[in-house]
Chain A
Amino acid sequence: MSKAGVVLCRCNSIIDGRIDFEQLNKKLAADKKVQAVIQVDMACSPRGKKTIRELAAMEEVDRLVVAACSPFSKGAVFDGFALEMQMPKQLIELVNLREHCAWAHEIKDADKKALTLIKMGLKKVLAARDLGQWSAGCAHVNKLKCDRCKRCIEECPNRAIQLGADGYPAADPAICQRCGICVGGCPLGVIALPDFRLEEVSAMLAPLSSGQSPVIAGFFCNFAYQEADLMGQIGRQHSPGLHIIRVPCTGAVNMITVNDAIAEGIDGIMVVGCDSSQCKHRKGNELAKYRIANCRKGLEEQLLEQERLVYVSLGEGLVEPSVINRRKCVRCGLCAQICPYGAIKITDSGDYEVNARACRGCGACAGACRSGAVDLPQASGGKIMAAIKSALAG
């Protein structure tokens, strides 16, 4: 039987200054599925790592929920822990208590929300099973259940899935970008990523059903998730009714999961991703919108309101767009050609300008411009040269 441990990170009193850890500890310790609960000052520090290792060894815990900060902040640190402890990294779930709870809500709402978020994490790690996807390291098709409809082959934006010699689709680990678009599109739900399996996501929805209305499940793509992190970091709050579940891309949201969420009694489901044509995985958001439109029809047939499922575009405040210096620009148009998001357009006057809403700050335009007319405000040429000069000065 699986034994889960919970690590509550105080983060130098940043998190426990807003969330009552003693109450949380008591409630979690009473949960039969929880083997042990510990509090550490900084789970990401060498000292925190030592404490977590001791917990895993003493209590024979085989999976962990670490309630700390955003996976975009310290996710790599805990992946490293998993490697050192020889534990598949899917068995360590990082619950974002800092950006999505302590900083995002009033103190009176944060305690309750924290418990729900940790329970969601627990459900996820307890539902984690290796069906071959961990060793594959990329999208994995369960051949026992696959009916060879070939939809995954058609929809994969990288053409990483091809028909194997046995007649079943298989992903090439060298090409697969783990965007999860195949997971979202599979009508039978038989495709899984190493850290993203539909059963795990559906399990995460169960603790939400007991919440007060309106309870909203938000499937946030990595880009939108970072925007939610940013809002928490700068102290901009949002309603505690939203429970964010990170998905690699909005295209990875399978409508089976959406139907599970409706059946669990969740009032609303938001699929939150990039604006049109701004998807890093090229067509993930467009496919998500198409699937949502079909699913909404299905909801109506079941006499449920279509409004329970929506697609929302986010990620606008996350990056500062690149800037074109018109005095230096020779109007060669290379930046517009190279921009993967189509964010640079020519105006009526013949000048090139950046659509701030569409720019993702990747810097491809700045790297390509031969006359040095394009700059990224946060990583300008001058700033990079200053760092190089400083390094050379010794």
Chain B
Amino acid sequence: MKANILICARPECLGETLDLPRLKQYFANNGHEVLIHDNFCADISNLKLTSSFKDPDRPAVFAGCSPLGMENRIKMLFHTPLEVANIREQCAWTWLDAETANRRCREIIRSAVRQVAYTPAFKAPPNILKEQLAAYEAEIERIGPNPFKA
């Protein structure tokens, strides 16, 4: 399966060990479309994708930081299934030797590309916290402030 691969290339994040142009070439030769983004955090922060793929309906792979950090927020930017390849914590910050780091990076992204075929698209759950909190705040407003506040 061919995928859209977005690599976050912020030097403060990934350092300078990884050879990203070579990585891009490797996956492009295999029929995937690869975009290298200089500061994807800005897109994540604004919840708005600034780069566009030629075929946006392909499943996507985001190569950057750990899925523990912002996976769900990144998934909100794509309407297709998305898999996160952790090339920061498990590669750039782990391997100091450039050759090993680049090889591991390629393997991690390749694994994510294979896995994305089995990943369902993200469905944002309802904001139950907001609903429950709004109901409780209305109740507190009805009974008034805590008398100990004074």
Which of A235, A238, A380, A391 interacts with B47 by CB under 8 Å?
Answer: A235
Contact indicator A317/B115 (Cβ below 8 Å): no
Say if the beta carbon of B125 comes within 8 Å of chain A.
yes
| B137 engages A387 (CB within 8 Å) | no
The interface stretch among B26-34, B53-61, B140-148 is B140-148
Instruction: Decide: B73 and A241 in contact? CB cutoff 8 A.
Output: no
Contact between chains at B12 and A14 (CB < 8 Å): no
Contact of A231 with B by CB under 8 A: yes
* Residues of A close to B93: CB separation below 8 A: 45-46
Query: Does any Cβ of A come within 8 Å of B97's Cβ?
Result: no
Q: Which residues of B have CB within 8 Å of A241?
A: 133, 137
Q: Mark B91-110, 1 if CB is under 8 A from A, else 0.
A: 00100000000000001001
Question: Which residues on B sit within 8 Å (CB–CB) of A238?
Answer: 127, 129-130, 133
**A386 and B140 within 8 A (CB):** no
Of the candidates B76, B117, B147, which one forms a contact with A386 in the assembled complex, judged by CB atoms under 8 Å apart? B117
What chain A residues lie within 8 Å of B141 (beta carbons)? 213-214
> In the complex, what residue of chain A is closest to B138 when comparing beta carbons?
A214
Min CB gap B8→A, angstroms = 10
Give chain B nearest CB distance to A62 CB in angstroms: 28
Q: Does B126 make an interface contact (CB < 8 A)?
A: yes
Whose C-beta in chain B lies nearest to the C-beta of A387? B111
Residue of B nearest to A375 (CB): B118
A265 touches B148 (CB 8 A): yes
Q: Is B132 among interface residues, defined by CB-CB distance under 8 A? A: yes
Given A233-B72, A386-B117, also A307-B128 (CB < 8 A): no
Q: Which of A115-123, A186-194, A266-274, A331-339 forms contacts with chain B?
A: A266-274
Residues 15 to 45 of chain B near chain A (Cβ within 8 Å): 39, 41-42, 44-45
* B68 cross-chain contacts in A, Cβ below 8 A: 72-74
Q: A42-B12, A383-B118, A387-B111 are contacts. A17–B130 as well, Cβ < 8 Å?
A: no
Query: Contacts A262-B148, A386-B114, A391-B107: A314 and B139 contacting too (C-beta < 8 A)?
Result: no
Bound CA–CA A152/B79 (angstroms): 50
Q: Which residue of B lies closest to A388 (CB)?
A: B111
Closest-by-CB residue of A relative to B120 is: A377
- Asked whether, in the complex, the Cβ of A389 is within 8 Å of the Cβ of B114, the reply is yes
A residues within 8 A CB of B128? Answer: 227, 314, 316-317
Is B136's CB under 8 angstroms from A312's CB?
A: yes
| Residue of B42, B69, B72, B146 with most partner-chain A CB within 10 A | B146
Give complex CA distance A307, B140 in Å: 7
Q: Closest residue to A238 on the B side, CB-wise?
A: B130
Would you give the 0/1 interface string for B70-85, flagging 1 where the beta carbon is closer than 8 Å to chain A?
1111001000000000
Contact of A239 with B133 in the complex, beta carbons under 8 Å: yes
Given contacts A236-B129, A265-B149, 13 further A-B contacts (CB under 8 A): A13-B45, A18-B45, A42-B12, A216-B133, A233-B73, A237-B127, A267-B146, A268-B137, A312-B136, A383-B115, A383-B118, A390-B110, A390-B111
The 5 A-B pairs of least Cβ separation, nearest first, read A317-B125, A265-B149, A12-B41, A383-B118, A390-B111
Cross-chain pairs A/B with CB under 8 angstroms, 17 sampled: A11-B41, A12-B13, A41-B12, A47-B12, A216-B136, A231-B127, A234-B125, A238-B129, A241-B133, A268-B139, A308-B140, A310-B136, A312-B136, A317-B125, A386-B111, A386-B117, A393-B110
